[in-house]
Amino acid sequence: MKTYSTGELAKACKVSVRTVQYYDKEGIVVPSQLSVGGRRIYSEDDFKKFHCVCLYKSLGFSLEDIKKIMETEDTYDLLLEVIMKQQEKISDEIHTLEKTKEKLNMVKEEIDNTGTLRLESLDEMEALLDKKRKHRKTDIMTYIFMGCYVLILFVGFPITVSVGGIYPFVMLIIAITLLLGLIFYHSGVNAYICPSCHEKFPIGFFKDMFTLNGGSKGKYLKCSHCGHRGWMKESFPE
């Protein structure tokens, strides 16, 4: 039967010699034999156990949990329990990281849009995040309105034209009403940031209807604060 020294086991499992020694010290994988000189000698079974430990470690299990798994007879029951605990822990970490990423994106966007960072406390950051989340919901409503408008215009209207009668006029009235409602809603839930003075300002229904929209660039507007004229990015009202 093949045996392994500490160095051979470390090399085969791609870990350091210190790791092998530490797992022995903690009683996780203890060598089956000791040489006359007191050196560790690991058997094939020890080698398989060490591979399992490396697998569990790569899954993020704590050494305490790994030791329990290696010592218990109901290995798979305990393993399932540890896996579920680890999944829950990872889910919490992902949620925390996503919130941190959201905050970083918001800070970056604030600096990009205003040229400065006006946030002075965690409470202000949370309040601004809440506003941004609500604004994203209004964006979804805008897309729903737009989808309905496009559906009516390019599907409903041609169908009613083929039917004839008063139906095309009814469908046209519905499309116009929906478009006006979309513009009214859009003008009420959005504001624009001036790239010159970095101040936000809202616009009215008619200005929203007749000013040029540049997609991701925003709208071509005149700032109500400094008079600068140019592309203003869309944002949420103060």
Task: Give 70's DSSP letter.
Answer: H
Q: Do residue 11 and residue 93 come from a single domain?
A: no
Q: Do residue 103 and residue 127 come from a single domain?
A: no
Question: What are residue 201's DSSP bridge partners?
Answer: 192
Average pLDDT over residues 38-59: 92
Identify whether the C-beta of residue 91 lies closer than 8 Å to the C-beta of residue 99.
no
Residue 221 has pLDDT above 90, yes or no: yes
Domain membership of residue 37 (yes or no) is yes
Domain membership of residue 206 (yes or no) is yes
Q: Which residues make Cβ contacts (< 8 Å) with residue 139, sequence separation at least 6?
A: none
Residue 110 has pLDDT above 80, yes or no: no
pLDDT of residue 129: 81
Question: What are residue 29's DSSP bridge partners?
Answer: none
Q: Do residue 17 and residue 104 come from a single domain?
A: no
Give the start-end residues of each E strand in 111-238.
Answer: 191-193, 200-201, 219-222, 229-235
Task: Give 171's DSSP letter.
Answer: H
pLDDT in tens, 64-107: 999 988 888 777 888 888 899 999 999 999 999 998 898 888 88
Q: Do residue 142 and residue 173 come from a single domain?
A: yes
Average pLDDT over residues 114-141: 77
Q: Do residue 61 and residue 11 come from a single domain?
A: yes
Domain membership of residue 188 (yes or no) is yes
How much of the chain is helix, strand and coil, in % rounded to 5?
Answer: 65, 10, 25
Domain membership of residue 1 (yes or no) is no
Q: What's the pLDDT band for 55 if we cut at 50, 70, 90? A: very high
Range scoring the smallest mean pLDDT among 15-29, 52-66, 81-95, 136-150? 136-150
Q: Do residue 200 and residue 123 come from a single domain?
A: yes
State which H helix or E strand residue 142 sits in.
helix 122-151
Q: Do residue 98 and residue 141 come from a single domain?
A: no
- Segment of 49-58, 107-116, 117-126, 192-201 carrying the highest mean pLDDT: 49-58
pTM of the model: 0.58
Residue 11 has pLDDT above 90, yes or no: yes
Q: Please state, in angstroms and rounded to a whole number, the distance separating the CA atoms of residues 210 and 217.
A: 16
pLDDT of residue 120: 66
The alpha carbon of residue 170 and the mean position of all alpha carbons in its chain are separated, in whole angstroms, by 44
Q: Please state, in angstroms and rounded to a whole number, the distance separating the CA atoms of residues 218 and 216.
A: 5
Q: Do residue 137 and residue 225 come from a single domain?
A: yes
* Mean pLDDT value across the chain: 87
Domain membership of residue 219 (yes or no) is yes
Which single residue is written with the structure tokens 């889910």? 91
Strands 219-222 and 40-41 turn out to be unpaired
- The domain of 154 spans 116-235
